[in-house]
Structure 1
Amino acid sequence: MAEFKDQVAIVTGAGQGIGYEMCRQLVMQGAAVILNDMDAALAQQAAKDIDADGQRCIAVAGNASEQAVIQQMVQTAVDRFGRLDIVIGNAGITLFGDFFTYPETDFYKVLQVNLGSNFFLAQAAARQMKTQGEGGSILFTSSVTGHQAHKNLAVYGMTKAALEMLAKSLVVELSPFRINVNAVAPGATLTERTSSEKDYEKIWSRLTPMGRPASVADIAAAALFLVSRPARHITGQSLVVDGGWTSVSPSPYEA
């Protein structure tokens, strides 16, 4: 499998879970990857687990919403591998909270990470891709909560819906340079974090029409399709990967 041979990618928020699996599959299919996570030890270990030789998976730790970290990721891709072809903005945080008491500090933190990191990473990456003159692919990780209301997640859901609008908006800006931009919207997914929640798999297996929550491989497979060369004519779109949950939308609070 060499779908991504000679291509260079950046994936943020990739120390574990969905982002890690995206990196792993990209490397397996021939890409070189800059793996980002806020946790430096987690990023280094993830890169080592994916590529023990350290030749095709390079860790760049730091807050993906900070300009210095964004520039470091892009520059590392160019310095180590000579180019940048794919960017997956997967970094994000979830801060639950009741609307009536939601604190201002949490509001702006969620916006900074979920929106700021993706907007400015796309900006920096698109500049590099434009200079290269060979096109490229940008993908944002959205969520089903950007499509369906979810209790105590008003701010998070708002940012995810905004990411999908950003993907649409950038079609106007980036299409002349053969850069496509899309979003993937996972539903309930088994990760290190969610697997630790009480009865998570049991509840979401009952609520999901396909009978189980997604695996990280399910989400990564959809993401890699959207950044692959065969998908370059797909742009401004959002692909929901949720086993059919948004078609019926039962709440976990009623399970």
Structure 2
Amino acid sequence: MTFKDKVAIVTGAGQGIGFEICRMLAAEGAMVLLNDMDAELAEKAATVIHCKGMPGDSGDIGFINHMVNTAVELYGRLDIVIANAGITLYGDFLTYSPEAFFKVMQVNLGGSFFLAQAAAKQMKLQANGGTILFTSSVVGHQAFKSLAAYAMSKAALEMLAKNLVIELSQYNITVNTIAPGATLTERTREEEDYEKVWSAITPMGRPAYVTDIANTALFLVSDKARHITGQSLIVDGGWTSVSTIPEGIK
């Protein structure tokens, strides 16, 4: 069991990619703290996976510290942190509101930054350090209409990972980023023709499944990737190589 006795926090994990990451970590022996803003989703997901549910706002610094403290209180350490929580608020650049902008930054950037900070402080105390993974996006690499703020936040996470190499490598802490492309989740399946549209414009012929993203995430936080840090791995079936925009978005 690859993650036997490892302790992990995963945010934004009530469903979709985050849920699958938690499920796979737990199946490989990890003690998982599963966070989601939606308390019902968090508790339901935790019950299914048989892990610790942590409902709360992952953009709130007090709650972030509470999650890290809970991990240490329950299991004595913290080995893996996956800052997966994020929000997408579409909007035309010229009319985008300050309220929407700062909300995106608070959750996507602030939550990830301060979770990494709190986790790193704990990992620094541990003899074998730990690993941190941020969830970016293909739109951190390729412009996409009405996503200026979101794309900006995701690109910033990749630079944060690079910068933390300088700050945290001495404590045996690795920091990487995963950038998913179009992915079939509970949310995207509700969008009309989502799978059909993205299958047509993705070189590999389909959008990602949550297992595609979760498998990559588990590799990056495993001991097999202990010499990989400051990197971003795009998982998009080749979409960013051609960057065909769905009809109706142009």
- TM-score range normalised by the length of the shorter chain: over 0.9
Cα deviation, 1:188-240, whole Å, max 9, x if unaligned, reads 00000000000000000001000000000000000000000110100000000
How far apart are the structure 2 equivalents of 1:84 and 1:146? 28
Aligned residues: CA RMSD:
0.8
- What percent identity do the matched residue pairs reach? 67
In the alignment, which residue of structure 1 is the partner of 2:49?
50
Runs of 5+ unmatched residues, structure 1: 52-56
How far apart are the structure 2 equivalents of 1:204 and 1:5? 37
- Does the residue aligned with 1:13 lie in a helix, a strand or coil? coil
1:101 to 79, 91, 95: 95
In the alignment, which residue of structure 1 is the partner of 2:16?
17
How far apart are the structure 2 equivalents of 1:253 and 1:102? 23
Question: Would you say 1:181 and 2:181 are equivalent positions?
Answer: no
1:158-197 equivalences in 2 (<5 Å): 158-197=152-191
Which amino acid in 2 is paired with 1:19? Answer: G
- Does the residue aligned with 1:123 lie in a helix, a strand or coil? helix
How far apart are the structure 2 equivalents of 1:141 and 1:60? 19
In the alignment, which residue of structure 1 is the partner of 2:117?
123
1:81-100 equivalences in 2 (<5 Å): 81-100=75-94
State the shift of 1:254 in Å: 5.4
Runs of 5+ unmatched residues, structure 2: none
In the alignment, which residue of structure 1 is the partner of 2:222?
228
- Does the residue aligned with 1:185 lie in a helix, a strand or coil? strand
Cα deviation, 1:130-179, whole Å, max 9, x if unaligned, reads 01121110000000000000010011000000000000000000000010
How far apart are the structure 1 equivalents of 2:247 and 2:100? 23
1:20-35 equivalences in 2 (<5 Å): 20-35=19-34
- Does the residue aligned with 2:227 lie in a helix, a strand or coil? coil
In the alignment, which residue of structure 1 is the partner of 2:37?
38
- Does the residue aligned with 2:230 lie in a helix, a strand or coil? coil
How far apart are the structure 1 equivalents of 2:19 and 2:224? 23
Which amino acid in 1 is paired with 2:127? Answer: G
Contact map agreement 1:60 1:72 (CA 8 A) in 2: no
Question: Would you say 1:6 and 2:5 are equivalent positions?
Answer: yes
TM-score by length of 2: 0.98
Cα deviation, 1:60-104, whole Å, max 9, x if unaligned, reads 111101011101111111111111000000000000000110011
Question: Would you say 1:114 and 2:108 are equivalent positions?
Answer: yes
In the alignment, which residue of structure 2 is the partner of 1:200?
194
How far apart are the structure 2 equivalents of 1:253 and 1:123? 41
TM-score by length of 1: 0.96
